[in-house]
Structure 1
Amino acid sequence: MEKDKILERWSEYIKELFDDERKEIEVMKGNFAGPPILKDEVRTAIWKMKNGKATGPDNIAAKQIKALDEVGINKITELLDEIYETGEIPKEMLKSIFIALPKKDGATECELHRTISLMSQVTKILEKSHDESKK
């Protein structure tokens, strides 16, 4: 199979895999904001990040995030609070890199691969700090 056809098949497979056929939800109006994200929640989310993992599209490693000083923690907290208040996530944070790992040696079919997603470290902090705020 030529390279272009292989890439096209993978593209189709990923689209099928992540296709979302749910109806669009009507946007609710009103103030539904909860409490702001706390610096301690951001610190905890950063502390829990695992070193040595592959970077996402931002090319920032967990080790680099963990080296941030108080100013860096404040900036991330401000960004996450703004996202939380507005509901708008910057496009850069929504990008992911998909990697297909074969489930067994010699796998050639798309279905015989496990697909993982590499995402921005700040997106991971957003998810984890949101989880922390629910506790």
Structure 2
Amino acid sequence: MIIDKEKILERWAEYIRELFKDDRKDHNIMKNNFAGPPIMKKEVETAIKKMKHGKATGPDNISVELIEALEDFGIGKVTHLLNEIYDTEQIPTDLSKSIFIALPKKLGATECELHRTISLMSHITKILLKIIMLRIRNKLQKGTILLLLFLYIINNA
């Protein structure tokens, strides 16, 4: 059992790095594949509406509720920021950081593996991820509808 505070923090950092290690062979597989239309205010509004409210914020301390309270001004600023991220393919460092919290699964747990690790991430990052997910879902649904239409035509010809 580790008692020294610095050693405990080092062990947790090592555990988190291992837990979230990226084992993909090609890390740049998506490089230059971000082509798409600019992010619209309506997409930001939709993403915010679909997000859970009352959640803890990430390191930037900006909540969905704060963005909503700023109304059109806040939505406009977030839309502009997300388009900059989308165009440059660079997420600012402060938006890519998360706060990790370890919750013991059982009382008195001492091993890292016996904890549930949750991360608090920027709500702006969550909005971006939600928009990307909704765009992908929309493309998949359109593709599925076209495939079903194609199969229907073939089977009924």
TM-score, scaled relative to structure 2: 0.76
Q: What is the CA–CA distance in structure 1 between the aligned matches of 2:32 and 2:64, rounded to whole Å?
A: 36
Letter in 1 for 2:39: I
Among residues 81, 84, 87, which one is paired with 2:86 in the alignment?
Answer: 84
Among residues 111, 114, 123, which one is paired with 1:112 in the alignment?
Answer: 114
3-state secondary structure, aligned to 1:88:
coil
**Structure 2 CA distance for partners of 1:98 and 1:67, relative to 1, 3 Å:** same
Superposed, 1:118-129 pairs within 5 Å as 118-129=120-131
Give the number of equivalent residue pairs.
Answer: 135
3-state secondary structure, aligned to 2:116:
strand
Partner of 2:64: 62
Partner of 1:102: 104
Structure number with the bigger relative contact order (C-alpha 8 A, sep ≥ 6) is 1
What's the RMSD between the two structures over aligned residues?
Answer: 2.1
Looking at CA atoms only, which structure, 1 or 2, has the larger radius of gyration?
A: 2
The structure carrying a bigger helix percent of its residues is 2
Partner of 1:4: 6
Shift in Å at residue 99 of structure 1? 0.7
Letter in 2 for 1:90: P
**Structure 2 CA distance for partners of 1:131 and 1:6, relative to 1, 3 Å:** same
3-state secondary structure, aligned to 2:120:
strand
Tell me if structure 2 keeps the 8 A contact 1:41–1:133: no
Provide the identity percentage: 65
Q: What is the CA–CA distance in structure 2 between the aligned matches of 1:36 and 1:94, rounded to whole Å?
A: 21
**Structure 2 CA distance for partners of 1:32 and 1:129, relative to 1, 3 Å:** closer
TM-score, scaled relative to structure 1: 0.87
Deviations along 1:107-134, whole A, 9 cap, x unmatched? 1110001111111111011111122223
Can you give the 5+ residue segments of structure 2 that lack an aligned partner in the other structure? 139-157
